[in-house]
């Protein structure tokens, strides 16, 4: 992938996060939180463009704030206000 297409791809990925994500800054994370459907779409976008997925965090809605859940992501049930932060390189 050339430099220009690399820059374009990462610009598109960051635009997706800006459009669909919510800031987790108030909880001490520089990540953007994505709802379940958007997290799935984003990870598929990464896979389709051969971008390495480094990890996923689950932030639970506890009613008045979000808290990082360190449980196994594929084994937990999520609520509609829970968000995921997806790390990539």
So what's the pLDDT on residue 37?
Answer: 93
Distance, in Å, from the CA atom of 4 to the CA atom of 68, rounded to the nearest integer, reads 36
pLDDT band at 46 (very low <50, low <70, confident <90, very high): very high
How many domains in the chain?
Answer: 1
Higher-pLDDT residue of 37 and 55 is: 37
What are the helix (H) ranges across the chain? 3-20, 36-48
Classify residue 28 as left (phi > 0), alpha (psi -120 to 50) or beta: left
Report percent pLDDT > 70 for the chain: 87
This prediction's pTM: 0.75
Nearest to 40 by CA among 64, 23, 63, 56: 56
Q: Which range has highest mean pLDDT (3-12, 29-38, 56-65, 80-89)?
A: 29-38
Domain span at residue 80 reads 3-88
State residue 79 phi and psi, 5-degree precision.
-100, 165
């Amino acid at each position: 992938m050339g430099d220009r297409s690399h820059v374009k791809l990462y610009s598109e990925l960051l635009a997706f996060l800006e459009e669909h994500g919510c800031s987790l800054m108030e909880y001490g994370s520089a990540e953007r939180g994505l709802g379940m459907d958007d997290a799935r779409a984003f990870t598929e976008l990464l896979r389709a463009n051969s971008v390495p997925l480094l990890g996923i965090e689950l932030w639970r809605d506890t009613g008045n704030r979000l808290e990082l859940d360190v449980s196994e992501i594929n084994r937990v049930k999520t609520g509609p206000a829970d968000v995921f932060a997806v790390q990539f390189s």
